[in-house]
Amino acid sequence: MVLSVHLTLLELLRRGAARKSGGGDIDTKAVGLWAIDNGYQVNARGRIQSDIIEKYQAAN
């Protein structure tokens, strides 16, 4: 079940258009895909948690 939910979220993120966050030049699609690939849980829609964005920025 968890794997199927993970794949569904990943599919939704990959299908969506890349968007910039309101607070800067962050590609939320790239952050979401990075988070999933690195084991973080993110929603397919809505905001990405600030701590995940910070970890993404530190890794890239």
pLDDT at site 14: 67
Q: What is the C-alpha separation between 36 and 39, in angstroms, rounded?
A: 5
C-alpha distances in Å from residue 44, one per residue of 17, 28, 58: 12, 11, 22
Domain carrying residue 42: 2-59
C-alpha triplet 33, 48, 29: angle, nearest 5° = 35
Q: What is the pLDDT along the chain (60 residues), one digit of tens a residue?
A: 444 555 566 676 666 655 555 556 888 889 999 999 999 998 878 889 999 999 999 998
Q: Could you tell me the pTM of the whole model?
A: 0.62
pLDDT at site 43: 85
pLDDT at site 26: 86
Instruction: Report the domain count for the chain.
Output: 1
Q: What is the C-alpha separation between 49 and 17, in angstroms, rounded?
A: 19
Within 8 A by CB and 6+ apart from 52, the residues are 31, 35, 40, 42
